Amino acid sequence: PQSAAELEAMIVSAPWLGLLRAFWIRGETALEAATPEAGVLYPELRFETIESAFVAMAVAEGRGRAKR
């Protein structure tokens, strides 16, 4: 997994690729930004890896089953 700083460095180092910072909410693209200021404008959004998202979903699913 890459840290947010490593990912940001990669995006900045290759502007010709047209990479965007995409913020996803429940599987839908909520925001795409070509500039690093997106993190400043939307501080409540945080960087997540796919792996950490699946772990969070599994934990949430486990909590839901425990309440039943």
Tokens describing residue 1: 């997994």
With 0.75 as the threshold, say if the pTM is over it: no
Q: What is the pLDDT of residue 17?
A: 74
Alpha-carbon span 39 to 24, nearest angstrom: 13
Range of the domain at 12: 4-67
CA quadruple 3, 19, 39, 53: dihedral sign: negative
Assess contact for 47 and 4: CB atoms under 8 A. Answer: yes
pLDDT in tens, 8-41: 787 778 777 776 666 665 555 555 555 566 566 6
Assess contact for 34 and 26: CB atoms under 8 A. Answer: no
> Domain tally for the chain?
1
Return the higher-pLDDT residue of 14 and 47: 14
Q: Is the pLDDT of residue 58 over 80?
A: yes
